[in-house]
Structure 1
Amino acid sequence: MKKFNTITGEELLSKEVREIPFIIKDLIPIGLTLLAGSAKVGKSWLALWLSIAVAKGEAVWGYETTRCTTLYLCYEDNEIRIQNRLLEITDEAPNNVHFCTEVSKLGGELETRIRNFIAEHQDTKLIIIDTLQTIRSPNTESTYSNDYSDLTILKKLADEYKIAILLIHHFRKQKDGDVFNQITGSTGLQGAVDTMFTLSQSKRGEKTATLSCVGRDIESRELELERSEDNIWIKLSDSLSESNLKDLSFIKAVEIFMCDKDSYIGNATELSTLLNQISDDDFSNKSISKNIKRLSKSFEKLGILGFARRSNGKRIIEIVRIGDDSADQKRVS
């Protein structure tokens, strides 16, 4: 008999929280990411730089990367142009970044070549396809069904091999108050991907641009970027800075709270009240359990372990100090 394989909410909450794997920390997770923008805005320059940085394991705008083999399918370029651009952005290209200008179409040949490449280079974690239009049949209509079906092929590949696929796409000419509505095609594109980026300028030809980011596994944010003389996009600001400060505030509050305790056991509401007496920030009881798990690595560096579990049918939070005297030297500044 066919039936649904389900998991209860209680079982799910009791499971250990596993971190989402990222190729670029907090920015590009495993899965399918769409990067869209106007023609000549600098999407391909950005894609090229990302392929090099990730292959080298270099930080991108301060975010850690997973060093791996990268594949850039630059289907709108040729080898001469890629070579010239490489010479502008780097003095040394590693041997684990690969380029291909020979176009393969979606629906068979492209997927086969991706599978074969991964088989030969098993540490591949980032594949960039530039652009979506080059891999589609010229007769494909941009309906919701077609858009969703085409991108689902790439999404399944990314999930199967646990890699990130970055798909470059274009804006339509019509302006819109919501920059994501300017993406060419139906909303089927947006429905099929895990993460979406748009690279937009208020005026064509400007050196600055805004990278707007939304997704299932990332915090929504806007990065203000500036294009350098060697065509590398440099980060000027990040709208998530305030969010990062609140994380530090939460870590600091827990650290101060535990400074005279070996352990604490209570529920989220009780802990929220106690932490709010210490910090100027307001920590809701709904966020306490999530933050304790999400920021576990930061707490471990301070000699603190936090757990959210069930006991006698009730959900409780337990915090334990495990460090020695040296933990006092690791306080959050």
Structure 2
Amino acid sequence: MDEPDMFVLYIHADPGPRRVIQARFRRMLDGRRPANFDIAFEWPRGDEGVSRLEGWIAQKRASHKNARLVIVIDTVEHVLEKPKGNAYEQAVAAYSPWARLAHGQVGVSLVLVTHTTKASWDDVFDSIQGSTGAQGVVDTIAVFQRQAGKDGLAELCLRGRELAETRVNFRFGSEEGRWLKEDMGDTPMQPSVQRQMAVDAIRHFGQFARRPSAQEIHARMQEHAGYKGTASTVRTLLRRVVDDPNSGVCWERGSGYYMAGSPTPPIDNVDSEDREIRSASTLSTLSAEQQLET
């Protein structure tokens, strides 16, 4: 907070007691409020909220041309519009204006805070409240959770478009009144069992130059991996797999089929001789990948 060209705006959009938040910040900041730290307790929703945020950014840039700006909205549900459509479409439409704001500004980091569910999940990122549509819009996802059975310890799980899945360890500093990063080194996260099932199923079909549908992937997971989830759950799982840049899986828009690697024209649309060449090439590539993995 002592860096002259960095400014932080914390928007406490959750309609809770202000005095609790104010007391928490006083403790964290040793009773002093830095000049480059702003806090707001009310903020409009949707486009109006984005417009006001653009005004705050312009104000800071007017006095500090190269300012680095960090904006935290806690919790984001209180500034999102509620558009029409199914849950996935609603989430994409609600988060997109805020994502465009961050993408259109250099040196601006926008942190949108939400909650996790209390249910137990194989994949920690599945615990995030709401539709997976939101996760497809943002660049980086972070889940902060206490470590079970370890008092005062927690971990931050990270996943992003340009970030390998990573786990960072924290401990709570009683004197400081905040969580402190442990000097234990960051550790890569292993893919969840369920997501690995889905990727393995897609690769299986890829060996035969086939592009499976969600239904075929679900059937394969049930038959060969003992998967107990529903077809609807698999579709949600596949969205997460496709959104993960490290999964090596893509989805062909329009056809609805999945494949490992980059999209290419369907094999059924080429002549028989070219089909044989393409099939051999696909098998060779997958075989090489499998050899590397083993």
TM-score of the pair, normalised by structure 1: 0.49
Measured in 2, the distance between the counterparts of 1:168 and 1:125 equals 17
> In structure 1, what residue type is equivalent to 2:171?
E
- Alpha-carbon offset, residue 80 of structure 1: 2.1
**Aligned length in residues:** 179
1:188–1:95 CA distance, 2 compared to 1 (3 A): same
1:219–1:156 CA distance, 2 compared to 1 (3 A): same
- Alpha-carbon offset, residue 192 of structure 1: 0.7
1:88 corresponds to: 27
Measured in 2, the distance between the counterparts of 1:183 and 1:140 equals 22
Candidates 91, 108, 115, aligned match of 1:170: 115
1:71–1:141 CA distance, 2 compared to 1 (3 A): farther
> In structure 2, what residue type is equivalent to 1:172?
T
1:219–1:237 CA distance, 2 compared to 1 (3 A): farther
> Structure 1 stretch 147-156 or stretch 212-221: which is displaced more?
212-221
TM-score of the pair, normalised by structure 2: 0.55
Q: Does 1:232 align with 2:166?
A: no
- Alpha-carbon offset, residue 187 of structure 1: 1.4
Contact 1:221 1:238 (C-alpha < 8 Å) held by counterparts: no
Contact 1:211 1:222 (C-alpha < 8 Å) held by counterparts: yes
Candidates 44, 55, 68, aligned match of 1:116: 55
1:136 corresponds to: 80
Candidates 152, 163, 171, aligned match of 1:218: 163
How large is the Cα RMSD of the aligned pairs?
A: 2.5
Measured in 1, the distance between the counterparts of 2:150 and 2:27 equals 19
- In the TM superposition, 1:52-71 aligns within 5 A as 55-57=1-3, 67-71=5-9
2:280 corresponds to: none
Q: Does 1:184 align with 2:124?
A: no
> Structure 1 stretch 70-79 or stretch 150-159: which is displaced more?
70-79
Measured in 2, the distance between the counterparts of 1:167 and 1:143 equals 18
Measured in 1, the distance between the counterparts of 2:86 and 2:130 equals 6
1:160 corresponds to: 104
With a CA cutoff of 8 Å and minimum separation of 6, indicate the structure with the bigger relative contact order: 1
Consecutive unaligned residues of structure 1, counting only runs of 5 or more, are: 1-54, 58-65, 243-333
- Alpha-carbon offset, residue 174 of structure 1: 1.8
1:140–1:183 CA distance, 2 compared to 1 (3 A): farther
> In structure 1, what residue type is equivalent to 2:58?
A
Measured in 2, the distance between the counterparts of 1:159 and 1:173 equals 32
1:100–1:124 CA distance, 2 compared to 1 (3 A): farther
1:114–1:206 CA distance, 2 compared to 1 (3 A): same
Q: Deviations over 1:75-101 (max 9, x none)?
A: 124542232112211223211110000
- Alpha-carbon offset, residue 138 of structure 1: 6.5
- Alpha-carbon offset, residue 128 of structure 1: 0.5
Q: Deviations over 1:140-195 (max 9, x none)?
A: 77711111122121111001112110000111232101100111112111111100
